[in-house]
Amino acid sequence: MMLEGIRVLDAATLAAAPLAATYLGEFGADVIKIEQPGSGDPIRTWGNQVDGIGLMWKSLSRNKRSITLNLRVAEGQALLRSLAEHADVLIVNTRPATLRKWGLDYPALRAVNDRIVMLHITGYGLTGPKSERPGFGTLGEAMSGFANITGQADGPPTLPPFMLADGVASLNAAYAVMMALYHRDVHGASGQLIDINLIDPLARLLEQTLLGYDQLGLVPTRAGNRWDISAPRNTYRTADDRWLAMSGSSPQLALRVFRAIGRADLADDADFSDPQRRLARAREVDQVVADWVATKTLAEAMEILDAAEVAAAPVYDITDLVADEQLAHREVFVKVGDDELGAMTVQAPVPRFSAATGRVQHLGPRIGEHNAEVYGELLGLSGGDVDELHARGVL
């Protein structure tokens, strides 16, 4: 495995930070999940449950070993510092002031292991006037500018019904960890602290809004599924009450649309063939396409558009997604056996390499399932030592 030999301590909770650890574990890193005794990571009780078992927990904690450790007591804090001596990466999302109080901030951990890479994900970042505020993905989606430009023109700002800000932050975090490890291992540097919040990564993707504001004074407003850099670009309802999405992002694609729907006259009209002039008439373009799509079933429309090499796709719900032949061919979803659920289908690791394969060896473990194994392996504690620490509320 590509990351074999890298040990990650995942001492974070909920989504963004633990997801970064998940990505590393899919390619061979030994990820040790550190949870509060008794309650564990709150993601265990988040979302859909089967017999009290959280489905998101099962997927997000794939390939991880679970140990318990009470970081609110001095002995637990000392044990984490000892574990950090044997780790390459430590991932946390605790408030900065709390970590300093516990003696678990980056300077304290670097003192015991100057090679450690510490990833700290927070709502607002480790510095600045809001650094100590609690933060969640919803707030990142609001403050990044995403919600303000998402939704219908006459509707409210719209939040996504999934973990968008957390997910984008986790991807930034995973590649940041890899860069820090490369810098350490290839260039002979020490470890370092990585500071990622839930606003910056998503705001980075909304680059068009910044550029237009900075250079042209533009403040975008909500426009549904339209986008002011491309036309046609929308979702369109079919005769059988399905939906398809279409993009005319390049000049030739837009002209293909006009010809495919029997409006070659528009392809020859400068008001519609010229990209900038077409944007001024985007509503007309949308209406022409919508009227044509409304006369076709989804299958009929897609057959015509595919034949014309138009950039169009059906809008899938989850049943369509898992049945799609392209995704099935690429094994995007895999069924994994589990001793609590029997089996569950989850997303497979996303990156595809020519000489390596990601893995889902097992789903999320029971809380503290690997206490004896990990504490014995890394710190030399006996089974009796682990039992005593458990009895005293440290584990």
Q: How confident is the model at residue 251 (pLDDT cuts 50, 70, 90)?
A: confident
| Average pLDDT for 234-257 | 90
Q: How much is the pTM?
A: 0.94
Please choose, from the candidates 207, 204, 183, the residue with its C-alpha nearest in 3D space to the C-alpha of residue 194. 183
Q: How confident is the model at residue 229 (pLDDT cuts 50, 70, 90)?
A: confident
Q: How confident is the model at residue 374 (pLDDT cuts 50, 70, 90)?
A: very high
* CATH 3.40.1280.10 for domain 7-204+330-391: no
Please choose, from the candidates 85, 56, 73, 67, the residue with its C-alpha nearest in 3D space to the C-alpha of residue 10. 67
- Active-site residues: which are they? 166
The first and second tokens of residue 389, run together, are 């620490």
Q: How confident is the model at residue 298 (pLDDT cuts 50, 70, 90)?
A: very high
Position 233 scores a pLDDT of 87
310: helix, coil or strand?
A: coil
Measure the CA–CA gap between 29 and 46, rounded to whole angstroms. Answer: 25
Work out the burial of residue 18: count CB atoms within 10 Å of its CB; fewer than 13 is exposed, 13-18 middle, 19 or more buried. buried
The angle at the Cα of 156, spanning 211 to 130, to the nearest 5 degrees, equals 60
The residues, any chain, with a CB within 8 Å of residue 371's CB and separated by 6 or more, are 67, 68, 386, 390, 395
Domain spans, the chain: 7-204+330-391, 233-237+243-314
The residues, any chain, with a CB within 8 Å of residue 194's CB and separated by 6 or more, are 117, 118, 119, 120, 173, 176, 177, 180
Position 325 scores a pLDDT of 97
